[in-house]
Every structure is written in structure tokens, then in C-alpha cells.
Amino acid sequence: MTGMHFVFLIVAVITLGAALMAVTSRNMVHAALWLILALFGVAITFAILNAGFLAVAQVIIYIGAISILMIFAIMMTRRLIADAGGQISSNWPWAALIAVVLFGGLWWLLSGWGGFNTTLPSISARADPLVELGQALVSPSAYIIPFEVASVLLLAALIGAIIIAWERK
């Protein structure tokens, strides 16, 4: 056990605990705040994995934009937070069973895979992952078309969101 193990384990336990609270908390605002903690844990995981850009993007996009959008939506639809007679549907044992079986199945499937215990390869010193990512996203020989399609998708989705939520008089 090295220091890295402890850091990873603490982050993983906090993230999974916060995720569990986010899906079971009765108060929706609390659930959204637990979601923010879980997303922050995932951002730290990205940082541990040398993906600095993604860690920062996670904080800005997920925590800064998506979670705040969710809190706005929760506050605009607040009526039945408390008086709906519980937030968990009555068939939750089946949901828990499916989740646990899927987790066990994934673990079993992955443990049979040859690369399961791959150790950390060193990143070559000449290449900076951040520079490579930036170049790959705008290089015609790499990901410019998916990147542009994603941009158009996002623009279309935002215009669509405005039209859907428009209050017609």
C-alpha cells in the first residue's frame, strides 16, 4: 500500500458514498448537492489519471453548469418534494437486485480479462497529454469531424431546450 492507494481509496469511498446518497436522499436539493460531491470525486480521479484537462472540464461543465441547471430545475418543480409519499418507487428491491447483479457480473467478466491487472505505464516525457488532446480535437487527421458534430449537436440541443421550455401565451 502506497500513498497513492490511500488517496485513491479515500476518493473512491467518498465518491461512491456521495453517489449512494444522491440516489437515495429524500430531499431533492440534498440529492443534487450529493451529486456535486460525487462529481468532484470523479474530477479528482481524472487528476490522479493524469487527465488534467478533463478534471478542470469536469469541474466547470458538470459541477458549474449541469448541477446548477439541475438545482434550478428542482427549485422550479418543488411542489412534490416532500408530500409525494416517498421518492423511491415501490419496486426498488428489483432495482437494487438488478444493480447488484450487474455489478457482480461486471466484476466477474472483468476479472476474467487478461488486462485486468495492467500496471501503470509511464507517459513519455516528450509528449504532453494536454497538447496532444488539443491538437487531436482540431486536427483533420484525428477528431475534428466528431468534435464539430458534437458542437452542432450541443447548439441544436440548446435551441431545442429553449423552444421546449418556451411558455406560449
By the 8 A CB rule, do 54 and 46 touch? yes
The per-residue DSSP string of 117-153 comes to GPPPPPPPTT--HHHHHHHHHH-TTTTHHHHHHHHHH
Identify residues 146-165 at the interface with another protein (CB under 8 A): 146-147, 150-151, 153-154, 156-158, 160-162, 164-165
Q: How far is the CB of 66 from another protein (least distance, A)?
A: 5
Say whether residue 44 binds another protein (CB under 8 A): no
- Residue-by-residue DSSP string for 50-66: T-HHHHHHIIIIIIIII
**Interaction with another protein in 5-24: which residues (CB under 8 A)?**
5, 8, 12, 15-16, 19-20, 22-23
**Scanning residues 119 to 148, which ones bind another protein (CB under 8 A)?**
119-121, 123-124, 127, 129, 132-133, 136-137, 142-143, 146-147
